């Protein structure tokens, strides 16, 4: 045996010890403790107590009939065994996505990601330096704050307003833009308000971005789910073939085909500097190459199957909205806001207590989980957010339990 080998038992005591717990980035939250509602939900479930969940957004757990044989066949085709990485994503997948969207979108205008969340991460890397900010009209989904923070940026909320329907406050957006603002982020239709941009809002918004030198990020994951669309809605940003500012559109299979488990998102780039933006995005994506080869190979089939899956979702959304309207007739002190599109509905109630306290009270008393409006920065304390994706019986039973307590 080589005598130079030092066995663990013969090692000298270490002279230095790491000083305290692991040092974490300031981009992370100071605590990972769950909020009161999440903590109580976990406790109830650990005790085996049944909970009716009216917040679900995972379609694979909502009882839809997926074409299982076709999905399995698409994911077991010989092409899924090949690996020919392209930073923009495979040509065949991008061609299928371009055909899905229409409006003269070309495969060369697209870059694939593993999700829209990853797409935001790439776009924030593309557009901003640490300390820069992006403007996000609120109410909105709280994920934007953390996606921006993790890239060293700040997501600054700018309140929209409600008058018969939701409206962007364009004056407030302009006033909020500063020397370090790099982009405005809009969701069309919005989550959770369901607000579609109007054509007039689109024109004013793109003009504002062009004048201030900002990019416009447009999240259209729910664009295929119009429910009560106004006549002047902007169905998709792709209707504008030549916008005056850079427009970066995000979408993905998670909503387009109700297949969140098959991680595939995409970014379409149009407007001034589109070629340079795509080249830079491809450089960023090339550092990760995160999109799996099998889902790219299967993309044409998955998108071909998507309309049948979306039809089931649309039927569910409309059935639950009708059930809500029927139930509201017996409770005149409650109402709902218009649902132009998307998977959520805003229930308006008397603000006798704070939204978070109300959601916790409903969970305790009725065993029904709803989202407080404050989760999405809805103004005041008079809103609860329900998912129209919920299985129909669960939705009706849940309404029957919570309405007497509101």
Q: What tens-digit pLDDT sequence spans the chain (406 residues)?
A: 444 455 555 666 667 888 888 989 999 999 899 999 999 999 999 999 999 999 999 999 999 999 999 999 999 999 889 899 999 999 999 999 999 999 999 999 999 999 999 999 999 999 999 999 999 999 999 899 999 999 999 999 999 999 999 999 999 999 999 999 999 999 999 999 999 999 999 999 999 999 999 999 999 999 999 999 999 999 999 999 999 999 999 999 999 999 999 999 999 999 999 999 999 999 999 999 999 999 999 999 999 999 999 999 999 999 999 999 999 999 999 999 999 999 999 999 999 999 999 999 999 999 999 999 999 999 989 999 999 999 999 999 999 999 999 9
Our CA angle for 296, 302, 306, nearest 5°, is: 140
pLDDT of residue 9: 57
Q: How many angstroms separate the CA atoms of 217 and 243, rounded?
A: 12
Please tell me the pTM assigned to this model. 0.93
Q: How many angstroms separate the CA atoms of 307 and 99, rounded?
A: 13
DSSP 239: G
Distance (Å) of CA 346 to CA 1, 38, 375, 376 = 75, 20, 12, 11
pLDDT of residue 1: 44
Q: How many angstroms separate the CA atoms of 83 and 91, rounded?
A: 13
**For strand 52-53 and strand 368-369, is the pairing parallel, antiparallel, or unpaired?**
parallel
pLDDT of residue 11: 63
Same topology between domain 36-63+306-405 and domain 79-305: no
Instruction: Tell me if 187 sits within 8 A of 138, measured CB to CB.
Output: no
Q: Which residue ranges make up each domain of the chain?
A: 36-63+306-405, 79-305
Q: Which tokens hold the place of 151?
A: 């890239």
Q: In CATH, what number does 79-305 get? A: 3.40.640.10
Instruction: Tell me if 373 sits within 8 A of 385, measured CB to CB.
Output: yes
Burial grade of 343 (CB within 10 A; 0-12, 13-18, 19 or more)? buried
**CATH T-level fold of 36-63+306-405:** 3.90.1150
| CB-based contacts of 222, cutoff 8 Å, min separation 6 | 187, 189, 191, 255, 341, 342, 343
Q: Which of 222, 155, 171 is nearest to 193 (CA)?
A: 222
Angle between helices 274-286 and 116-127 (to 10 degrees): 110
Q: Which of 222, 218, 178, 224 is nearest to 202 (CA)?
A: 218
pLDDT of residue 19: 83
pLDDT of residue 58: 97
* SS3 label, residue 52: strand
């Amino acid at each position: 045996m080589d005598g130079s080998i030092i066995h663990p038992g013969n090692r000298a005591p270490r002279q230095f010890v790491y000083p305290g717990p692991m040092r974490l980035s300031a981009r992370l939250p100071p605590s990972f403790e769950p909020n009161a509602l999440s903590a109580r939900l976990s406790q109830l479930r650990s005790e085996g107590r049944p909970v009716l969940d009216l917040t679900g957004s995972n379609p694979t757990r909502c009882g839809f009939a997926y074409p299982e044989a076709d999905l399995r066949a698409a994911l077991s085709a010989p092409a899924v065994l090949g690996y020919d990485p392209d930073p923009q994503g495979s040509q065949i997948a991008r061609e299928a996505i371009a055909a899905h969207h229409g409006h003269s979108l070309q495969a060369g205008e697209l870059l694939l990601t593993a999700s829209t969340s990853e797409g935001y991460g790439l776009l924030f890397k593309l557009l901003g330096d640490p300390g820069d900010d992006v403007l996000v009209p609120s109410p909105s989904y709280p994920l934007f704050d953390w996606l921006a923070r993790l890239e060293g940026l700040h997501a600054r909320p700018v309140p929209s307003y409600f008058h018969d329907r939701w409206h962007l406050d364009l004056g407030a957006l302009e006033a909020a833009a500063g020397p370090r603002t790099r982009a405005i982020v809009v969701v069309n239709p919005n989550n959770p308000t369901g607000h579609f941009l109007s054509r007039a809002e689109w024109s004013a918004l793109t003009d504002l971005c062009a004048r201030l030198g900002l990019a416009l990020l447009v999240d259209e994951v729910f664009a295929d789910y119009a429910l009560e669309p106004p006549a002047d809605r902007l169905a998709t940003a792709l209707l504008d073939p030549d916008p005056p500012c850079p427009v970066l559109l995000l979408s993905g299979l998670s909503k387009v085909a109700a297949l969140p488990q098959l991680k595939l998102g995409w970014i379409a780039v149009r407007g001034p500097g589109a070629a340079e933006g795509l080249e830079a995005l491809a450089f960023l994506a090339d550092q990760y190459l995160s999109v799996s080869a099998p889902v790219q190979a299967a993309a044409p089939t998955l998108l071909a199957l998507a309309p049948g899956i979306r039809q089931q979702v649309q039927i569910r959304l409309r059935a639950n909205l009708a059930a809500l309207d029927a139930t509201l007739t017996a409770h005149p002190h409650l109402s709902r806001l218009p649902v132009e599109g998307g998977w959520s509905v805003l229930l308006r109630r008397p603000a006798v207590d704070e939204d978070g306290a109300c959601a916790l009270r409903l969970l305790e008393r009725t065993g029904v989980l709803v989202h407080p409006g404050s989760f999405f920065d809805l103004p005041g304390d008079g809103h609860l957010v329900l998912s129209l994706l919920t299985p129909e019986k669960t939705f009706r039973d849940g309404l029957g339990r919570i309405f007497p307590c509101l």
